Structure 1
Amino acid sequence: MIVFGSPSRYVQGAGALDRIGTELARMGGSVALVIDPVIEARHGAAIRVACAHADVAPQMLVFGGECTDAEIDRLAAGLSDAPRIVGAIGGGKCIDAGKALAHRLGARVVTVPSIASTDAPTSHNYVVYDANHQMVAVRKLPLNPELVLVDTAVIAAAPVPLFLAGIGDAIGKIHEVRCCAEADGANIFGGRSALTAVALARACHQIILTDGEAALAAVARQTPDAALERVVEATVLMSGLAFESGGLSVAHSMTRGLTALEPWSRQMHGFQVAYASVVQMRAQSAPEAEIDAFAGFCRRIGLPVTLADLGGRAARPDEIARIAEATMTAPHIGHLPQPIDVAGLIRAIDWVEARFARVPA
């Protein structure tokens, strides 16, 4: 059975944050906003004005920096009454905290990303960590966010590496979604991959190839333009819908191995996924010319394609084995038309390392 999930409403554009009051008012009900402290300092006053103009009076809660159960307790304790809507304005962990608070309260969810480093704003998943910043659990909301509001002027003002990480997280979705669909694997909702998700993953991939470099230049200028708008829609909306309703495979499974060893564990999720997408292509016998083209594009825009690129040094054979062994414990690893084992994954990693090794100057 196919299951396709999505946000109820998606709003994107430069200055979209000015619409937050209007968008919250049309939803109806009391509001609490969990806001990143940097965004509070830069945009808090404007958010309050926009809400006041729409006769919305949100309770404002400043995010403490990590999405832990203790932080959710603290945020809940800061409420004077239980809201019907919880919005989260900030980066990925702030958005996860808003989702977690809404889940606890049974409230509807609004996400307002301040960076485009992942496709999490559209998702019904959220991640909870412990005080040592280690992942505790991936939990699920009953529904996707009701509203996703993306201000591309805010996105353009964020650091370039964060935007690049979002491209890295999204560009390989086509390989994962296609493999999951061909293997008749389960998507994030437990259903079969939707053909719509495959189409979205393909469109996302093509937009990034066409407009990715121009969008990165727009972020470097801190000025949104048409290319940036297209790539943000691809990396946030298309990629998010594609992975949830299409499914994941080797590339995201490899993050389990990469996050287990330093120095690779210190790299951003999107950089890990970009590298792992090259491995996935080899593991599933993609034509070498196709792999070369994908890796060449990634290298050109600054994404890693080898473990040496990702971590700053080559990996030893025992480290590659540990990455492969941990990868095989991920729930998505079976979503492959050609099943793989530890030895096969090691061979794919070794091939990528050898083929794309940088020649010393």
Structure 2
Amino acid sequence: MTRSFISPSKFVQGEGELKKLGEYVAGFGKKAILVAHPDDFARVQDILDESLSDTDYVHAAFSGESCDAEIGRVVELVRREDADVVIGLGGGKALDTAKATSTLTKKPVIIVPTIASTDAPTSALAIIYTQNGEFERYMHLPKNPDLVLVDSGIVAKAPTRFLISGMGDALATVFEARACIKANKPNMSGGFSTIAAAAIAETCYATLLEDGHKAKAACDANVVTKALENIIETNILLSGLGFESSGLAAAHAVHDGLTVLEETHHYFHGEKVAFGTLVQLVLENTDEETLIEVLDFCRSLSLPVCLADLGVEELDDERLMKVATHACSDLETMDNMPFEVTPKDVAAAIRTADIIGRTW
């Protein structure tokens, strides 16, 4: 049995690190394509103007959706401009678009998350959506980013909801890792989990419980503290390494299923994953102590614990089965659970998790 552990070539985190972006770009070439949503670009334009003053770069204004059409547009721009490196800046979808572009053009990629809302920055994976925002497929990439550069000061100034969403995404890491290991299922690179990956997943969960609330307070105050640094690292690096080198299971499959409901499109990835984690715990019939611990953690940070928290006020059986069937499709990770799971099982677990979240 082959074990594998994959990670970005380099991870750098600290307050003020964005000012060094130009130095890092110079290590890859002279011309760059920057993939960033106009709003994210505007937030840090002053810093970029300074840090990239000696860099020839073109801003490929990101449309907001990581879809085939948008990726194709950026790929064409990279080729037309004969760029040496791709930079992804902003949130998960812009970063996934940059990573996919890097793969298709065979150019190195620098990932610069300005929020800590998901573990997308470190992975060799891009989530592809339709132009309407529904999950379409996972795009497995041949390598992880060449550099992940995180400026903690920028993250601290972003709305706290992004940080909390990242904690919702990271919350699933240990439970999905445990499921994959128990089921003896391969990780995202096709190997099996290492001791290191399993330990990282466990540390991810422990750090959330220890520093999550303190980090939220720091982000509310727009300041950088040790707790905030720890949670930024947890949301981006520990969760990223933990999920990719151990595997995904029900929580993310449920997230993907929920995307068929239009009313959930206004909610962040990690917010849907948090509810998906509760659904996974119901599927596993986990012990009550763990379930209450996860519920309390989510409630204390205002993470969704029921369907209404995701904007779903009414869910008839027909729409519920669409969610459950999508979550169990061949493209999903539901079969990484250590027992057979059918759409009927998922539908029942969603109903049950919803009641638990509303009434416990």
TM-score of the two chains, using structure 1 as the length reference? 0.91
Q: Report the alpha carbon displacement of residue 312 of structure 1 after superposing the two structures with TM.
A: 5.0
Paired residue secondary structure (2:336): coil
Q: Which amino acid aligns with 1:187?
A: N
In 2 relative to 1, CA 162–140 (structure 1 residues): closer, same or farther, beyond 3 Å? Answer: same
In 2 relative to 1, CA 45–289 (structure 1 residues): closer, same or farther, beyond 3 Å? Answer: closer
In 2 relative to 1, CA 15–297 (structure 1 residues): closer, same or farther, beyond 3 Å? Answer: same
Paired residue secondary structure (1:186): coil
Paired residue secondary structure (2:89): strand
Q: Report the alpha carbon displacement of residue 280 of structure 1 after superposing the two structures with TM.
A: 0.9
Q: Is the 8 A contact 1:111 1:121 kept in 2?
A: yes
Determine the C-alpha separation between the residues in 2 that align with 1:258 and 1:182: 26
Q: Report matched runs for 1:181-260 at 5 Å.
A: 181-260=181-260
Determine the C-alpha separation between the residues in 1 that align with 2:168 and 2:247: 17
Q: Report the alpha carbon displacement of residue 266 of structure 1 after superposing the two structures with TM.
A: 3.9
Determine the C-alpha separation between the residues in 1 that align with 2:3 and 2:89: 32
Q: Is the 8 A contact 1:6 1:144 kept in 2?
A: yes
Q: Deviations over 1:24-48 (max 9, x none)?
A: 2344564332233123323224223
Determine the C-alpha separation between the residues in 2 that align with 1:275 and 1:67: 23
Determine the C-alpha separation between the residues in 2 that align with 1:64 and 1:172: 28
1:351 aligns with 2:355: no
Q: Report the alpha carbon displacement of residue 233 of structure 1 after superposing the two structures with TM.
A: 0.1
Point out where structure 2 has 5 or more consecutive residues left out of the alignment: none
Q: Report the alpha carbon displacement of residue 236 of structure 1 after superposing the two structures with TM.
A: 0.3
Single out whichever of 85-94 and 32-41 deviates more from structure 2: 32-41
Determine the C-alpha separation between the residues in 1 that align with 2:344 and 2:81: 55
Q: Is the 8 A contact 2:133 2:265 kept in 1?
A: no
1:38 aligns with 2:43: no
Point out where structure 1 has 5 or more consecutive residues left out of the alignment: none
Number of residue pairs matched? 357
Q: Which amino acid aligns with 1:3?
A: S
- Root mean square deviation of aligned Cα: 2.2
Q: Is the 8 A contact 1:82 1:105 kept in 2?
A: no
Aligned to 1:21: 22
Q: Is the 8 A contact 2:214 2:228 kept in 1?
A: yes
Aligned to 1:271: 271
Q: Deviations over 1:258-301 (max 9, x none)?
A: 11224335422211110111121121121112111211111111
Determine the C-alpha separation between the residues in 2 that align with 1:312 and 1:77: 39
Q: Report matched runs for 1:41-56 at 5 Å.
A: 41-52=42-53, 55-56=54-55
Determine the C-alpha separation between the residues in 2 that align with 1:56 and 1:181: 45
Q: Report the alpha carbon displacement of residue 111 of structure 1 after superposing the two structures with TM.
A: 0.4
Q: Deviations over 1:163-201 (max 9, x none)?
A: 211110111210001100110112111211222221111
Single out whichever of 186-195 and 105-114 deviates more from structure 2: 186-195
Aligned to 1:116: 116
Q: Is the 8 A contact 2:176 2:250 kept in 1?
A: yes
Q: Is the 8 A contact 2:12 2:149 kept in 1?
A: yes
Aligned to 1:149: 149
Paired residue secondary structure (2:230): helix
Q: Which amino acid aligns with 1:47?
A: L
In 2 relative to 1, CA 23–305 (structure 1 residues): closer, same or farther, beyond 3 Å? Answer: same
Aligned to 1:61: 60
TM-score of the two chains, using structure 2 as the length reference? 0.91
Q: Is the 8 A contact 1:216 1:228 kept in 2?
A: yes
Aligned to 1:174: 174
Determine the C-alpha separation between the residues in 2 that align with 1:132 and 1:284: 32
